[in-house]
Chains A and B, each alone.
Chain A
Amino acid sequence: MLSFIVKRVGQSVLVLLVTGLVAFSMFTFVGDPIDNMLGQERTMEDVERLRAQLGLDKPFVVQYFRFLEQAAQGNFGISYRQGRPVAEILMERAPATLELAAVSGVLAIVMGIGLGVFTAIRRNGVAANLIMSISLIGVSLPTFLIGILLIYLFSVELGWLPSFGRGETVHIGGWSTGFLTESGLKALILPAITLGLYQMTLIMRLVRSEMLEVLRQDYIRFARARGLGDRVVNFRHALKNTMVPVITVIGLQLGSIIAFAIITETVFQWPGVGLLFINAIQFVDIPVMAAYLMLISVMFVAINLLVDILYAMIDPRLRAAS
């Protein structure tokens, strides 16, 4: 077990070093930072001095390790577009994305498992079939169209909910939250549904197929033969045994929620990290792009590592295979 963990951690570190290299090379690929920092009227001495001052005269490898060292301390440089430290901007934007992701994640898990169980138990019922057909459309509908559809229905036609922004926020320490004001909660509804819908259909379909598989097993038949009630059989015996693959997928989907938040945030002009990233691409704001890349790869690698280790703990066969 220990050698498995060491090996996986080693791989993760390697992945981070590679993404770090990609992030770092963006700076060198895309123009000379000196050009960005000094104006038209500059002398060769100015250029040389700044180059030495910034350490740009050092070899590539040395510069790369300096970049990693700084990045590990949370220093990603200064945004070309906003002229402020990237770390500061990210900290300011993070609460919006995290709150949105948390709400839509909970929504996806609760609704996904609930509907999955429902469609598996009543698998020939009208309602279950209807839900399955709708979910098929939901999977092929691009996220941004779902967002626009919701805006059209609930903001333009009905006028019930706001179509953009976060509403009023309350600052607690360094964290700005929309959970405590009415407008903040209202503004959260549509983006959370948009973001959670795809994950919800994914979880629902998985739970359904796993449930159908388990419900066919002999021990379920035996449980029914013993005269146990439907509720006990369905939830205590069947649902419990579908949870291993479901938890894995949920774990892996956590990362996707943050990534897909980019689309939802753009549709709803939600002031989070994703919208920041899209704007950074539009204006080729390299420090912000690099920081976002590093941040998201740390997150993805950590989630993958955790899921793998958990999996190996649950299923000993995987340990032997590696």
Chain B
Amino acid sequence: MNRFLDSDVFYAFRTSPVAIVSLIVTVLMVLAAVFAPLIATTNPFDPASLNLMNGFTAPMEPNAFTGESFFLGTDDQGRDVFSTILYGLRISLFVGVAAVMLAMVIGIFLGLLSGYVGGWTETIIMRAADVQLTFPSILVAMLIFGVAKGVTPVEYRDQMAIWVLILAIGLSDWVQFARVVRGATLVEKSKDYVAAARLIGRSPLTIMIRHILPNVLSPVLVIATISLALAIIAEATLSFLGVGAPATQPSLGTLIRIGQGFLFSGEWWILLFPACTLLVLALAVNLLGDWLRDALNPRLR
């Protein structure tokens, strides 16, 4: 612990107000998402707790029929906007984190493999990466979502949507990880400790995972943070377009999609608050990733 407090990275963190603020915001958001059932005033997806009469209540104003008042107002079905945002945040963060994890696992594995084994394996993997990189990742994610949706039976589509979304965003985002890990593996491969491990008869798989992997992780961490911001925005975009989280399990993007419908009739709060939450979350994670990249890469300082 003391070693960490003395380290360069912690010093860079302590002296950067942007990093401190964005970390606090991110942590608060994550806590709010994790403890959503405890913080939220109602469970917006429990029909028993809803009262249709409460629909379209403006923020901080008592409802005309029931007299109840809501911190951030209610939507058309009387759901408390504050609670739906908490639950939406939960789904957005879950999908984002899970998708990045998936991309990370695939990318690290294929990167290690192509860097360590080389030859045809490397050519095929890196060519595939190049091909995927020529398409914008949001487009790739849409296509994967479309195909996966078609494959799942109709009755499971809504339930599976979240998992399909994770799969789509994860598969659209592995290339960055694979490229960086491959580059780092190529450097590590020629070092003495790898030769030593090979001499004592360790299997290639053990060498890759036990010996090389720990030494290539720091750039992976940076990419993971930046990817998280991108994955959250990608998820919101897909859900907003109606090809992501369904209305029964709304993420922030779905809430914005729902809110857009009320923009013209003057119920601005249904749209504004989820949009602001998404914006703050994406910005905080983005800034954190930028800072981490600079801090872990002293050459850029």
Chain A interface (Cβ < 8 Å from any Cβ of B) = 15, 18, 22, 26, 29-31, 137, 140-145, 148, 151-152, 156, 163, 255-256, 259-260, 262-263, 266, 277-278, 280-282, 284, 286, 289, 293, 296-297, 300-301, 304
Contact = CB atoms under 8 A, between A and B. Distances in A.
Interface stretch (B100-108, B193-201, B215-223, B236-244): B236-244
Contact of A263 (B145, B241, B264, B282): B241
Given A144-B240, A301-B134, A29 B150 contact: yes
A176 B289 CA distance: 45
Contact of B263 (A15, A145, A148): A148
A250 to B, nearest CB: 15
A29 B147 contact: yes
Interface string B122-163: 000000000100111011001101110111000000000000
Interface centre among A18, A151, A281 (most CB of B within 10 A): A281
B134 A259 contact: no
A124 to B, nearest CB: 21
Interface stretch (B60-68, B80-88, B271-279): B271-279
A297 B135 contact: yes
25 contacts: A15-B134, A140-B282, A142-B278, A142-B282, A144-B237, A145-B275, A148-B256, A151-B263, A152-B263, A156-B263, A163-B264, A255-B134, A256-B136, A259-B135, A259-B136, A263-B237, A266-B240, A266-B242, A278-B243, A281-B146, A282-B242, A284-B146, A289-B146, A289-B147, A293-B143
A300 B135 contact: yes
B242 to A, nearest CB: 6
B249 interface: no
A148 to B, nearest CB: 6
Given A142-B236, A148-B271, A266 B241 contact: yes
Contacts of A18: 131
A286 to B, nearest CB: 6
Contact of B275 (A148, A263, A266, A280): A148
Given A148-B263, A278-B241, A284 B279 contact: no
A287 B278 CA distance: 34
Nearest to B282: A140
B232 to A, nearest CB: 9
A262 B282 CA distance: 21
Interface centre among B142, B146, B263 (most CB of A within 10 A): B146
B139 A296 contact: yes
B286 interface: yes
Q: Which 7 A-B pairs have CB atoms at the shortest separation, nearest pair first?
A: A30-B150, A281-B146, A284-B150, A259-B139, A259-B136, A281-B243, A142-B233
B150 A26 contact: yes
A86 to B, nearest CB: 15
Contacts of A293: 143
A223 B135 CA distance: 42
B162 to A, nearest CB: 16
B142 A281 contact: yes
B225 to A, nearest CB: 14
Nearest to A292: B143
Contacts of B236: 142, 144
Contacts of A30: 147, 150-151
Contacts of A31: 150
B26 interface: no
A31 B149 CA distance: 12
A22 B275 CA distance: 35
B260 interface: yes
B283 interface: yes
A259 B278 contact: no
